[in-house]
């Protein structure tokens, strides 16, 4: 309600009440006296009676006049109230909307100066991997995260605490009733960095570029073509994705599918151009292969960044990045070495954050005998179960990672559809491992665990497993390989057993057999019986959540009874940045948003 009109009405009401009281005052009576007029005494003398009669007549005349004035005043008040009522009703109806508008205006007024004050500056990012290793439109490694998020955006991203998609380039989306079709609405007016419209047709082309061609061994290869059978363009901002695998699995695709200008992808070979979709516009003149790249704020982004720009510097390893961060040569790294954690964490000039424990985990792979390698003992699931129980996960977390990692008894995080609390228990039990080995007929023997990480954390983890295996009667040898050799042995299942840290275990469990090196068929452990392939195929044909849950239970039972990989601990990726910057927030897969980063 308008404040001026409100107080005008109050003044009118007060005036009307004074008029009513004044009518009784003129007759020398109060409000009670008005009720006693005409109540005389019959025994009074005549003169007195005549005098009283005259007084009563005068009072009656005065009363009549006052009553007429009172009636006129009340009539005027009613008329005014009738005139005011529609306006008051409209004002009451408008009040919530006006209050909301005022609150929005106040918030905008408060935010605008704050954003203006925070706007500016350049964030210098350190990485031990270069843009030249990025294979569009796929995410090849978690190490690429600081490199690609400035330049490309996705349709949706997962929330900070689970698998709930959040809007990015997509404004909204909706699954149909049987969850076989997803309709996506883009934000209106989207553009690539060169001004080319980023419409539904371009998104369709970008999604369809996610095929197997020329992307050997990439973990996300085929994920789009596995889950989506067709993409239809309805209008400039609307697409329909027809799902080959029903349900919410498609959000795993949308989370990782950076939207590219497909016509520009060939130029990414030498980065002669990069027509991106993200908050920063690539500067091709700045690019030095495996050394340096830069970008400036893209003003036409739907949520423009606060920073003026970003710079990316490549280093040979994490130690070199740590030195550069301490010397003020860079502002941020996502690969701070664990030994440097305490030093930077205790320094107020830096902010240190251990990435959410869902990005990646350390696992032990047990390779089934195959034409390339493996170990004969691992043909028996009981031997694999035994080695699973030789891992002291608490010790690895507390000693090797100094409390910065969490023990992982099972593959799935608590928010995962595949998580089962009853299964999430400590499996370390060398005595039970020895019993399983005896049942398998595998007496004291030797196994080799192979590492391709040059020692370090992997070597420390292997030594803990070695100690547990010794208690169970297994002589576990540790073999180091050069990274390139170890990668070949890993991809072709040549190891006997191995240690590895890989991502994507926080996605829907059904996605792992589709795209993860260690879970898909063929995989790094040579595990691929027909019944496993049948289970994978069933994920795609399930028609209800109940059926999907039954299949997840079957999947978990298979992982219990015939494990080929054993989770150990979460990987402790340590992000560190100069305290001159703030606003860095992560989603559940440790991917930060660039838009709200700003100078303090």
Q: What is the pLDDT of residue 428?
A: 98
Residues 324 and 374 in one domain: no
Spatial distance between the Cα atoms of 241 and 227, rounded to a whole number of angstroms: 9
For 309, list phi and psi in degrees, rounded to 5: -170, 175
Instruction: Kindly state whether residue 182 falls inside one of the protein's structural domains.
Output: yes
- CA pair distance 195, 217, nearest whole angstrom: 34
37 assigned to some structural domain? no
**Residue 314: pLDDT over 60:** yes
Predicted confidence (pLDDT) at residue 110 exceeds the cutoff of 70: no
Q: What is the pLDDT of residues 18-53, one digit of tens each?
A: 333 333 333 333 333 323 223 333 333 344 344 445
Is residue 561 located within the same domain as residue 578? Answer: no
Domain range spanning residue 171? 122-355+574-599
Burial class (CB in 10 A: 0-12, 13-18, 19+), 506: buried
Mean model confidence pLDDT for the chain: 83
Answer yes or no: is 368 within a domain.
yes
Backbone phi, then psi, for 480, in 5-degree steps? -100, 140
- 393 with 333, same domain: the answer is no
CATH code, domain carrying 373: 3.10.105.10
Q: What are the tens digits of pLDDT across the range 83-99?
A: 555 444 444 444 444 45
- Do 306 and 191 reside in the same domain of the chain? yes
Specify the CATH number for the domain of residue 318: 3.40.190.10
- 310 & 386 share domain: no
Residue 11 lies in a domain: yes
- 298 and 410 fall within a common domain: no
The answer on pLDDT for 188 being more than 90 is yes
- Mean of the pLDDT values across residues 212-221? 63
Identify whether 281 is part of a domain: yes
Cβ contacts of 344-353, under 8 Å, gap ≥ 24: 344/576, 348/579, 349/578, 349/579, 350/325, 350/576, 350/577, 350/578, 350/579, 351/576, 351/577, 351/578, 351/579, 351/581, 351/582, 351/584, 352/574, 352/575, 352/576, 353/574, 353/575, 353/576, 353/584, 353/586
DSSP one-letter string for 538-556: HHHH--SHHHHHHHHHHHH
In a domain, residue 38? The reply is: no
Instruction: Tell me, yes or no, whether 40 lies in a domain.
Output: no
Same domain, 221 and 309: yes
pLDDT digits (tens, 9 = 90+) for 400-442: 999 999 999 999 999 999 999 999 999 999 999 999 999 999 8
Residues 162 and 204 occupy one common structural domain: yes
Among residues 114, 133, 158, which one ends one of the domains? 114
- What is the number of structural domains in the chain? 3
Is 36 inside a domain boundary? no
Same domain, yes or no: 444 and 593:
no
Q: Supply the pLDDT for residue 148.
A: 84
Cα angle 153-159-165, degrees, rounded to a multiple of 5: 65
Helices 530-541, 545-561: axis angle to 10 degrees equals 160
DSSP-derived letter for residue 1 is: -
Q: Are residues 278 and 135 in the same domain?
A: yes
- Closest among 278, 290, 347 to 591, alpha carbons compared: 278
Which two structure tokens, joined as six digits, stand for 419?
């998580």
Query: Distance between CA atoms of 557 and 535, rounded to whole angstroms?
Result: 12
**Domain shared by 595 and 578, yes or no:** yes
Say yes or no: 51 and 157 in one domain: no
């Amino acid at each position: 309600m308008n404040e001026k009109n409100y107080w005008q009405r109050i003044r009118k009401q007060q005036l009307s009440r004074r008029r009513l009281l004044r009518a009784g005052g003129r007759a020398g009576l109060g409000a009670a006296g008005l009720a006693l007029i005409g109540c005389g005494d019959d025994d009074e003398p005549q003169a007195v009676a005549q005098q009283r009669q005259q007084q009563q007549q005068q009072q009656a005349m005065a009363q009549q006049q006052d009553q007429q004035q009172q009636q006129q005043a009340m009539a005027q008040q009613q008329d005014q109230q009738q005139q005011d009522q529609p306006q008051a009703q409209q004002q009451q109806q408008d009040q919530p909307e006006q209050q909301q508008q005022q609150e929005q205006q106040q918030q905008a007024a408060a935010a605008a100066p704050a954003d203006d004050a925070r706007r500016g500056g350049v964030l210098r990012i350190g990485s031990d991997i270069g843009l030249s290793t990025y294979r569009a439109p796929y995410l090849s490694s978690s190490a690429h995260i600081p490199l690609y998020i400035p330049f490309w955006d996705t349709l949706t991203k997962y929330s900070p605490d689970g698998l709930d998609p959040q809007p990015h380039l997509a404004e909204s989306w909706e699954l149909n009733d049987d969850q076989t079709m997803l309709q996506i609405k883009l934000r209106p007016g989207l553009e690539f960095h060169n001004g080319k419209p980023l419409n539904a047709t371009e998104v369709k082309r970008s999604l369809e570029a996610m095929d197997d061609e020329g992307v050997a061994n990439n973990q996300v290869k085929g994920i789009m073509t596995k889950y989506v059978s067709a993409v239809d363009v309805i209008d400039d901002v609307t697409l329909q994705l027809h799902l080959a695998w029903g349900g919410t699995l498609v959000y795993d695709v949308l989370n990782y599918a950076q939207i590219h200008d497909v016509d520009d992808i060939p130029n990414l070979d030498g980065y002669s151009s990069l027509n991106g979709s993200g908050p920063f516009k690539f500067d091709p003149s700045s690019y030095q292969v495996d050394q340096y790249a830069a970008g400036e704020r893209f003003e036409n982004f739907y949520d423009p960044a606060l920073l003026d720009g970003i710079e990316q510097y490549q280093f040979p390893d994490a130690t070199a990045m740590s030195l550069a961060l301490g010397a003020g040569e860079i502002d941020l790294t996502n690969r701070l070495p664990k030994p440097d954690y305490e030093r930077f964490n205790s320094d107020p000039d830096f902010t240190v954050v251990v990435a959410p424990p869902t990005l990646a985990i350390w696992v032990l792979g047990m390779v089934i005998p195959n034409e390339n390698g493996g170990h004969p003992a691992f043909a028996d699931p009981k031997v694999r179960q035994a080695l699973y129980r030789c891992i002291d996960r608490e010790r690895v977390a507390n000693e090797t990672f100094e409390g910065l990692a969490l023990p992982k008894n099972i593959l799935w995080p608590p928010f995962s559809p595949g998580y089962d609390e009853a299964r999430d228990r400590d499996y370390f039990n060398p005595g039970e491992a020895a019993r399983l080995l005896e049942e398998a007929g595998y007496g004291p023997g030797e196994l080799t665990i192979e590492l391709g990480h040059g020692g370090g954390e992997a070597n420390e983890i292997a030594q803990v497993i070695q100690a547990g295996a010794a208690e169970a009667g297994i002589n576990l040898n540790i073999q180091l390989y050069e990274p390139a050799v170890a990668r070949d042995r890993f991809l072709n299942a040549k190891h006997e057993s191995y240690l590895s840290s890989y991502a994507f275990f926080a996605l829907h469990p059904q996605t792992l057999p589709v795209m993860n090196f260690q879970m898909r068929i063929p995989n790094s452990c040579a595990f691929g019986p027909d019944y496993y392939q049948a289970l994978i195929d069933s994920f795609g044909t399930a028609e209800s959540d109940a059926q999907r849950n039954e299949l997840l239970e079957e999947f978990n039972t298979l992982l219990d009874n015939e494990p080929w990989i054993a989770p150990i601990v979460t990987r402790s990726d340590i992000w560190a940045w100069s305290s001159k910057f703030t606003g860095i927030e992560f989603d559940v897969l440790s991917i930060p948003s660039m838009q709200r980063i700003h100078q303090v």
